[in-house]
Amino acid sequence: DTEVTQTPKHLVMGMTNKKSLKCEQHMGHRAMYWYKQKAKKPPELMFVYSYEKLSINESVPSRFSPECPNSSLLNLHLHALQPEDSALYLCASSQEGTEYGYTFGSGTRLTVV
């Protein structure tokens, strides 16, 4: 299995809702990442997990809450989002560090209404 699987593919949520994005990989990668990509922009790093521990939080608002239940799973819990949080949320995984590049999922397209 050489894929990163993200669910759901599309999500529409209200500003008072709580929802979660899920990401799964079975490549034995020990680093997992959340990126946010706005339209016509490059992906921006949000969080890095290394060996199931949060190692980087790129000053992301607390309405985004990551969780890594085990080495194969990464979640992003969403609460009280704003319309400007609408974006494509990409999960990636890698061997630790950048040596072999990152494998990306196809993303969750989130719309906040």
Partner 1 sequence: GEDVEQSLFLSVREGDSSVINCTYTDSSSTYLYWYKQEPGAGLQLLTYIFSNMDMKQDQRLTVLLNKKDKHLSLRIADTQTGDSAIYFCAGGANNLFFGTGTRLTVIP
Using CB under 8 A, list all residues that contact partner 1.
4, 6, 33, 40-43, 45, 48, 56, 90, 92, 97-99, 101-107, 109
Cβ nearer to partner 1, comparing 79 with 109: 109
Instruction: Report how far residue 94's alpha carbon sits from residue 102's, in angstroms, rounded to the nearest whole number.
Output: 5
Cβ nearer to partner 1, comparing 15 with 106: 106
Distances in Å between the alpha carbon of 58 and those of 8, 96, 108? 24, 18, 20
Cβ nearer to partner 1, comparing 13 with 45: 45
- Element of type H or E holding 37: strand 31-37
CB of 71 to partner 1, least distance (A): 18
Cβ nearer to partner 1, comparing 83 with 101: 101
Backbone angles phi, psi at 97, to 5 degrees: 85, -175
User: How far is C-alpha 96 from the chain's CA centre?
Assistant: 17
- Element of type H or E holding 70: strand 64-70
CB of 90 to partner 1, least distance (A): 6
CB of 105 to partner 1, least distance (A): 5
